Amino acid sequence: MTELLQKVRVIDPVSKIDELFDVLIADGYIKEVASHIADIHSDTQIKDCQGLVLGPGLVDLYSHSGEPGFEERETLLSLLQAASAGGFTRVSILPDTSPAIDNPALVAQLQNKGGEIGRMREKEKTNLSPLLPCSPAPLLHLWGAITLDVAGKQMTELADLASAGVVGFSDGKPFENLALVRRVLEYLQPLGKPVAFWPSDRQLTANGVMREGVDALRFGLPPIPASAETTAIAAILELVAAIGTPVHIMRVSTSRSVELIASAKAADLPITASTTWMHLLLDTKAVKSYHTSLHLDPPLGNPSDVVALRAGVRTGVIDAIAIDHTPYSYEEKVQAFAEAPPGAIGLELALPLLWQYLVETEEFTALELWRALSLSPAECLGQKVSAILPHQPAELTLFDPQQIWKVERKNLYTLSQNTPWLGQQMKGHVVQTWC
């Protein structure tokens, strides 16, 4: 199938281009990019793309799958469909499933299922809804677990998992044992796979559910000091400096954390870092509603934290924006704020909301946002993203920043609805992806 996208706004962080072009796509490749393409075959499907945005496919660094173990929250099929509908062409799931992704057999099983879903999606000919594009399934990547047991004291067979094809290693939970972290960094050094740590001192976190500050006092919720994150980051940085193994720091959420990471990068430590999309959009004031989908871990930051995180992403101190899609059933989330499990969905909502509140307000350029959602997360995984140029693979996302739609069950692929935007109108929607 050959498609001609006419007068589409091409945003390419690889080539640093933000211009209007015609783009010809055929047989999974970009055939031509020009200001005007007139020489086309009679069977070419022509699309008027004025007002639409075309960029490299989005890459999610880490999210959660319900399957295996909690299929009522999310299956691999619904996760990949949600990712595609949100513009993602690659999605990486954390190993905290049940059973955990801690052995090569399970890695192979999930990879095979991801492949089956991809083949099924390619054969689909009908849409479930006018808002849900019938696109190929994204590439599924798996993070391999670092530890075997709940206490986190025994390492998995890291080399076997690396050979099985995991994208990297992470438990997706705070580390408790610094001696084990040191050993992990020593073992992983020759394997050449990313390792990601979530810095959070659970003794300092205690029973807190909200970032320490004036709003926590006002809303009467147990606070979590910023030092719960920053002391853990400082410990990671010391180990990286001593051993030299590259590390990715997940879920950065405080202004002081940004400062620590900036200093470490200035000292040429081999680190990358990410924050999540909700930590860029909302601060502690939003918790006034006590909506349980605003109970996150780490918690939403104070206004000064959000300012620092946004600046960190724009300057590249914070390399990437992760989605950290965390589905829960309705019953699990219908509790008191402090009792509800932390986390929110986001694969289908992140791009529209980030575009609306960061790009349309001119706080971010379109290139800065797209870089943090595509090129940079891929680089954090040791992967590459192709430029939007002739002869390159067509791994692309077509986005309409003006399309209005409503966040409700029939317009979502994900099985869960734990989002504070449920029932609200949204501006911006993905039209199509090419994988």
Domain ranges of the chain: 57-385+403-425
Residue the block writes with tokens 């606070």: 223
The per-residue pLDDT for 142 is 98
Q: What's the number of CA atoms in the CB half-sphere (13 Å) around residue 209?
A: 19
Asked if 325 and 377 touch (Cβ cutoff 8 Å), the reply is no
Element (H, E) at 115: helix 104-123
**DSSP string for 166-234:** -SEE--SSB---HHHHHHHHHHHGGGT--BEEB---HHHHTT--EESSHHHHHHT--EE-THHHHHHHH
Of residues 215, 283, 324, 400, which has the active-site annotation? 324
Q: Partners of 276 in the beta sheet?
A: 322
The pLDDT of residue 418: 97
Helix (H) or strand (E) holding 281: helix 277-281
In sequence order, what are the residues at sequence separation of 6 or more whose Cβ sits closer than 8 angstroms to the Cβ of residue 246? 194, 195, 240, 270, 271, 272
pLDDT at position 435 is: 85
Nearest in space to 64 (alpha carbons), one of 54, 48, 76 = 76
Instruction: Supply the pLDDT for residue 217.
Output: 97
Q: Is 171 a catalytic residue?
A: no
pLDDT of 362 reads: 97
Q: How many helices (H) and strands (E) does the chain have?
A: 14, 17
Chain centroid to CA 33: 29
Beta-strand ranges (E) seen in 96-176 are 139-144, 168-169
Q: What pLDDT score was predicted for residue 345?
A: 98
Note down pLDDT in tens along the chain; length 435 residues: 899 999 999 999 999 999 999 999 999 999 999 999 987 787 889 999 999 999 999 999 999 999 999 999 999 999 999 999 999 999 999 999 999 999 999 999 999 999 888 777 666 644 444 454 556 789 999 999 999 865 567 899 999 999 999 999 999 999 989 999 999 999 999 999 999 999 999 999 999 999 999 999 999 999 999 999 999 999 999 999 999 999 999 999 999 999 999 999 999 999 999 999 999 999 999 999 999 999 999 999 999 999 999 999 999 999 999 999 999 999 999 999 999 999 999 999 999 999 999 999 999 999 999 999 999 999 999 999 999 999 999 999 999 999 999 999 999 999 999 999 999 999 999 999 998
pLDDT at 123: 66
Q: What is the pLDDT of residue 122?
A: 65
Fold assignment, 57-385+403-425: TIM Barrel (3.20.20)
* Residue-level pLDDT at 258: 98
pLDDT at 426: 95
Backbone angles phi and psi of 355, in degrees to 5: -65, -45
